Amino acid sequence: MVDHDLLDHRLADVGIQGIARNWLCSFISGRGQRVALGREMSSRHSLVCGVPQGAILSPMLFNIFMRPLAQIIRSFGLGCHQYADDIQLYLLMDGHTDSAPNTLTRCLEAVAGWFRGSRLKLNPSKTEVLWLGWDGMGMRDQLPSLAGAQLVPLPSVKSLGVILDASLSMEAQVTATAKATFFHLRRIKQLVPYLSRPNLATVIHATVISRLDYCNSLYAGLPLKLSQKLQRVQNAAVRLLTGSLPWEHIHPVLFKLHWLPVEYRIRFKVLLLTFKALHGLAPSYLRDRLSWYAPRRASRSINSNTLVVPGPKEVRLASTRARVFSTLAPVWWNALPHETRALQDLISFRRACKTELFRLAFGLEPI
């Protein structure tokens, strides 16, 4: 659906000129397609839109084509995240829950107009609304329409494979993850007689552990009953891999495999995000949540590489303080040894951080 003429203009808007622009235009122009059915082949049809599927340049060209949309959304004061063709709008209501503000209505009208002008099809039926922090179902008749379709708040939505509800409890996501991983474990169990242990470990990591680790930083600070669901999945995967019996204690087996328990895998992910945010390797909205500690008077702590932990005035709700990145990240970061916090290389930090968490998880003496 990417119009070639419009893409040419937007390449110029971002400063791509001369030979580079001509080269990119020649990359997408002059292409065609035909349909094969058995031995029959249709005539060639020239393509005047679209970017080649599977080409390395195609995602970049698509992002350049979609770039003006984020600028339009932010001009109305709304936040915006874009993941390829998945667009998310964020609006802070500041406690006014009686109706959606006119800003949202005008923004959606501008978005629909931009799609028409860009010769793209906007599908309102796939648009979902999540009202965070309040029972938004009462806003059913207060939300604006999008391209003629009335928007309706939903109890939960899926964002990049993660199920989010209005209270961000993550209960639905944890339940879905546990269900999917146990399903794969039952399927893998049938392969145990035919796979060597290294190959079995590869399959378990690819189908089970990867699902436990996906976006697991969102599980930080969850109630014990939810984190235990995830730990039971890891325990079952470990027993399947090692053949250990159900009544055997799982900690020694995890130690032998050098696997961090789920609780520490979550902490490891948050610390990695913290390191990346502090060193310009993560989105700016994460970096904005962190502040270096600077004592009022010169002291030895001035070079300790510690972060400010927000107090009750900054984060008032106790439930939020237990889970929010701006609180958990500084607390866990400051608990790391000074030598680990001082590292500047990501690979070195990963290694040192995992070693420290492994020591904490299994009660080992510091080296």
Backbone angles phi, psi at 307, to 5 degrees: -110, 155
Q: Kindly give the residue spans of alpha helices, DSSP state H, lying in the chain.
A: 4-13, 18-28, 57-75, 102-117, 171-189, 197-204, 210-213, 224-242, 250-257, 262-278, 284-287, 318-321, 325-334, 338-341, 346-361
Q: Where are the domains of the chain?
A: 4-154, 171-259, 264-362
Q: How far apart are CA 328 and CA 49, in angstroms?
A: 47
34-43, 180-189, 261-270, 311-320: segment of lowest average pLDDT? 311-320
Q: Hunting for tokens 């990695």 — which residue is that?
A: 272
Q: In the block, which residue shows the tokens 């209270």?
A: 167
State the Cα–Cα distance between residues 140 and 120, nearest whole angstrom: 28
Query: pLDDT tens digits for 293-309?
Result: 877 766 555 567 889 88
pLDDT in tens, 324-360: 888 899 999 999 999 999 999 999 999 999 999 999 9
pTM reported for the whole predicted model: 0.82
Local structure of 364: helix, strand or coil? coil
